[in-house]
Amino acid sequence: MEAFTFHNPTRIHFGVGMISKLGKEMQDAGIKSCLMVAGEGSIKQNSVYTQVLDTLNNHHITVHEAWGVQANPTLAKVREMVTLAHTLKAQAILAVGGGSVIDSAKAVAAGVFLDDPWDAFGGNVPVKQALPIYTVLTISATGSEMNGNSVLTNTDTKQKWAFYSPLVYPQVSIIDPAVQCSLPFKQTASGAIDAISHVLEYYFVNQTALSTQAIDDALMKTIVDMTDRLMENPGDLVARGNLAWCATLALNGISGMGMKGGDWACHQIEHAFSALHPDIAHGEGLGVVFPAWIEYMSEKYPSRYARWAKNVWGEDSVSRGVQRFRDKIEAWGLSGSLRDLGIRERELPELLELIMIRPTVGAVSKLSAAEVEALLMLAY
Ligand code: NZQ
Ligand code: ZN
């Protein structure tokens, strides 16, 4: 097992009705006003927005609202919200939504102390300060509610990049699984694939972190089982709750302890898809890349991938495990190839260029441009 340091400062309130805890948490921290960051309106169609306003009003916290964060959020929107946060002298940022909203909130929280929020992305300028962040999660997928990552697209350069800082872990996150019953199944399934992918990014890197791998086996199997249940019954709260908690654990540090930093080639590759096509859901894009990557890599390291096929899918060969993974993705109604995602063959050179702009791709094995190209063809 590799040496590691684990620290996660985010306090979680998990369960039905827990949004009511938010106001007191913020009041106890001395917060009198906040900037609420939100998406394109889903929180007004379920009860989330009203629940949030109630708890803030009950604790005398003034809320200013910034709406319109899109799925696959943009730098331009974050810049707009940073200006607003300056004008309002915001004391805290409250994200109410999914990963896109939370990631934007983190970029605003750090961005108010930078010349430009993009400076934090790509690791050129260290984040030294950030406003406190609170979140109410409405879709389980990214783990952003309990980690220090933010991912944004710079639409001018078509770069979808991330930054990590210990300063942007949310102070408090509320995870009420009941509010996710309003999700279209396709979003639930995309979120599930994203969460499985976070586990997979660590799973193959190190073979001595047996305790972590055992947790990871359980996370992946539970995510698959709970998503199957939700396809049958979107209101199944046992399945909602377990899927939600698995997704948080998949990227809050727990799933990768003792596994070095993980691989992340598939994420790097998918981020180029959704940078170029913002209508591609991140999880759906990963569902195309990951099976192809496992197929490709298992030829180099067969035993690592055999464990996954056996423990997650009960199969004796990697190729059968990959087939089961692909069948599940298809059964959930998600795309099975780059072509299905709407990517045209003539876009592949541009995709390759966007992927290879980073110094390395992958860790299990560092992929060359020719290998990434081969992988794209396998996934096409
Ligand atoms: O905008 P609204 O109206 O809220 O609608 C959203 C959005 O259209 C909708 N939705 C959310 N909760 C809902 C709901 N609809 C009905 N009922 C609800 N309860 O779902 C759509 C997708 O939301 P989004 O926030 O984009 O989803 P997700 O949480 O999957 O976030 C994806 C983004 O996070 C990044 C991805 O790249 C992508 O940009 N990631 C962030 C990571 C992190 N911070 O650690 C890691 C991930 O690997 C990932 O890269
Ligand atoms: Zn992801």
Domain range list for the chain: 11-178, 184-379
- The pLDDT of residue 48 is 98
- The pLDDT of residue 359 is 85
- The pLDDT of residue 153 is 97
pLDDT less than 50: residues of the chain: none
Q: Which atom of ligand 1 is nearest to the CA of 160?
A: 37
Q: Which two tokens stand for residue 278?
A: 């913002």
CA 151–ligand 2 middle distance (angstroms):
10
- The pLDDT of residue 123 is 81
Q: Which ligand is nearest to the CA of 251?
A: 1
- The pLDDT of residue 122 is 80
- The pLDDT of residue 124 is 80
Q: Which atom of ligand 1 is nearest to the CA of 48?
A: 19
CA 220–ligand 1 middle distance (angstroms):
20
Q: Which ligand is nearest to the CA of 190?
A: 1
Q: Please tell us whether the domain made up of 11-178 is placed in CATH 3.40.50.300.
A: no
Q: Please tell us whether the domain made up of 184-379 is placed in CATH 1.10.1200.120.
A: no
CA 192–ligand 2 middle distance (angstroms):
10
CA 95–ligand 2 middle distance (angstroms):
18
Rounded to two decimals, the pTM is 0.98
CA 337–ligand 1 middle distance (angstroms):
21
Q: Which ligand is nearest to the CA of 197?
A: 2
Q: Which residues line ligand 1 (CB under 6 A)?
A: 39-43, 46, 71-73, 97-101, 103, 138-139, 141-144, 147, 149-151, 179-180, 182-183, 187, 191, 194, 251, 267, 282-283
Query: How does pLDDT run across 62-114, given as a tens digit for each residue?
Result: 999 999 999 999 999 999 999 999 999 999 999 999 999 999 999 999 999 99
Give, using CA atoms, the residue closest to atom 34 of ligand 1.
99
Give, using CA atoms, the residue closest to atom 7 of ligand 1.
71
Residue from 338, 326, 345, 318 nearest 379 by CA:
338
- The pLDDT of residue 136 is 99
CA 344–ligand 1 middle distance (angstroms):
25
Q: Which ligand is nearest to the CA of 163?
A: 1
* Alpha carbons 316 and 326: distance in angstroms, whole number: 16
Test site for ligand 1: of 37, 43, 102, 194, most ligand atoms within 8 A of the Cβ: 194
CA 62–ligand 2 middle distance (angstroms):
33
Give, using CA atoms, the residue closest to atom 37 of ligand 1.
282
